Amino acid sequence: MLLADARALVPQLKTAAADIAADVAMLRKLADWAMRYTPWSATDSHDGLILDVTGCDHLFGGEERLLGDLAAHLAGYNLTARLALADTPAAAWAWARYGKGGVLIAAHNSELKTLPVAALRISAHNTHDLMRLGLHRIEQIAALPRAPLAARFGKELLNRLDQILGRSPEPLTLRRPPTPHRRRIAFPEPIGRREDIEAALQHLLSELCKHLEATSLGARELVFTAYGVDATTQRIGITCATPGRNVSHFAHLFHDRLDHIDPGFGLESFTLDAAIVETLAPSQMPLTGKRNARTSLSQLVDRLQTRLGAGAVVELRPIDSHIPERAVMMTPAFTRPGKSHEADDWIAQQPRPIRLLPCPEIIDVVAPVPDDPPLVFRWRKVSHRVARSEGPERIAPEWWRQKDHSQARDYYWLEDTEGRRFWVYRDDPFTPEKAPRWYLHGLFA
């Protein structure tokens, strides 16, 4: 009714302005909390939730007990709710808003057809027209021929009728993408000690890794979610460089992140999701019993990234380019680039210095003839007498780079009398009109 009419009936009525944004935020928060019952949770308009509990009701002792547990929790949060469970989202929506609530045995139940036409979720205009024609209940519409209904009211009416009766599916826009690899644990009483949280996480990790091993999968990303008694949800996650299912390694990565979980008034359940998985075939254990070097390195990368952040650990990977400063690229450790970025084998086998200078530095060179390698060169005010040399290796500019105006380079490998090795080049072949310029580009040791 109008506010003026309400105040006329109840003069002491207290009113407050609606905060739509806060209502939406609270509904989303409630949808996240409801994922303790099922990974398929969605918001419905501005005042409802839709949970797909297919295959989840047995975890709570059946459909009736699941609804009872949900109702008890919502009542504990001072939230008034009407709950219904049915075969289809449309039937559950109608039974909660216009029916008696509770568990509806089947979508084609006769009680469902006695609901008003507004339970079909059609437009207000179509609802008004149907009632003007004397069609007040769903059963009256279901008994009429479909062709005249489609001609008069369009496809909306028939689509909604098929959805509520289970004749056609209804997609849901989920709050979060569901993960098929999930494990859950619930407690009869809320817990708050860190030791109990660690024990719950350890149990979930063991169960999830057993499942991954049985399906020949490895986890790249894990998400641990804690559900509080005050309808709060807290999530922490880890990311691995390579797929794995090592329980102790996962527990070590989660160890520091557990400090971010605030028990508050108590935590009543936890879930662990493998958000990203990849195929991981069984591997042969070496006879020495020691771990594979690559596995040890990937676990080290995981620990560093957990402390420093995702992508903080990088590696140099060869790519298709003859120019030394373009021949490698920095990529997150253990990522697999596309084929177009992989270097040819012959490029990777060329002798290259361990350390490449950010920019080539000019050196002064003494050579018997311009085409020969240097006998002595001066770099950073220090002279080096060459004992051995090898080269040249001609590296020409890449013709497909139109804006590249660099010249051809002749590279030499030099070793001085103290055993230090250098990588130098001459920027262009010698011409009588112009003396060549020499640069030091890298160090081998």
| E strand map for 245-381 | 267-279, 314-318, 328-332, 355-366, 376-379
Domain-embedded: residue 173? no
Residues 324 and 403 in one domain: no
Can you tell me the distance from the alpha carbon of 441 to that of 395, in angstroms, rounded to the nearest whole number? 13
In terms of domains, do 189 and 125 share one? no
The residues facing 25 across adjacent strands are: none
Domain boundary residue among 133, 164, 195? 164
Query: What is the model's pLDDT at position 285?
Result: 66
Query: Helix, strand, coil shares of the chain as percentages rounded to 5?
Result: 35, 30, 40
Residues 203 and 279 in one domain: yes
C-alpha to C-alpha distances, 388 to 214, 329, 377, 393, 418, nearest whole angstrom: 59, 31, 13, 16, 11
* Alpha carbons 39 and 37: distance in angstroms, whole number: 7
CB-based burial of residue 117 (10 Å sphere; 0-12 exposed, 13-18 middle, 19+ buried)? Answer: buried
Residue 171 lies in a domain: no
On whether the CB atoms of residues 41 and 54 are closer than 8 A, the answer is no
Inside any domain, residue 6: no
Which H/E stretch holds residue 154? none
Instruction: Evaluate whether residue 3 is within a structural domain.
Output: no
Q: Do 195 and 144 belong together in one domain?
A: no
Query: Are residues 29 and 55 located together in one domain of the fold?
Result: yes
Is 374 found in the same domain as 321?
no
**Has residue 311 been placed in a domain?**
no
Q: For residue 352, give the nearest of 394, 413, 395, 398 by alpha carbon.
A: 413
pLDDT at 341: 46
295 shares its domain with 320: no
Q: How far is 374 from 436, CA to CA, in rounded Å?
A: 12
Residues 295 and 343 in one domain: no
Q: Is residue 249, in this structure, part of any structural domain at all? A: yes
Does 272 share its domain with 195?
yes
- Do 325 and 299 share a structural domain? no
Phi-psi sector, 61: left (phi>0), alpha (psi -120 to 50), beta: left
**pLDDT score recorded for residue 307:** 83
Q: Say if residue 280 is in the same domain as residue 385.
A: no
pTM (whole model) above 0.75: no
Yes or no: say if 217 and 285 are a contact pair by the CB < 8 Å rule: no
Q: Are residues 205 and 225 in the same domain?
A: yes
CA distance 424 to 408: 13
Which among 327, 347, 367 is the end of a domain? 347
Identify whether 174 is part of a domain: no
Backbone angles phi and psi of 98, in degrees to 5: -125, -10
Q: What is the CATH number of the domain that holds 260?
A: 3.30.1490.100
User: Considering its fold, how many domains does the chain have in total?
Assistant: 4
Q: Give the pLDDT of the chain (445 residues) as one tens digit per residue.
A: 899 999 999 999 999 988 989 999 999 999 999 988 988 899 998 889 999 998 888 888 899 999 999 999 999 989 999 999 998 899 999 999 998 888 876 655 678 888 999 999 999 999 999 999 999 999 999 899 999 999 999 899 999 999 998 888 888 888 887 788 999 999 989 999 999 999 999 999 999 999 999 999 999 999 999 999 988 899 999 988 889 999 999 999 999 899 999 999 999 999 999 999 999 877 666 666 566 666 778 888 888 888 887 778 888 777 777 788 887 788 887 776 544 444 445 455 667 888 889 899 999 999 888 778 899 999 999 999 999 999 888 888 877 776 766 788 889 999 999 999 999 999 865 555 667 789 999 999 7
Could you list the residue range(s) of the whole structural domain that residue 388 is in?
351-443
User: What is d(CA 308, CA 256) in angstroms, rounded to the nearest whole number?
Assistant: 12
Q: Which of 164, 196, 225 is the last residue of a domain?
A: 164
Q: Is residue 27 part of a domain?
A: yes
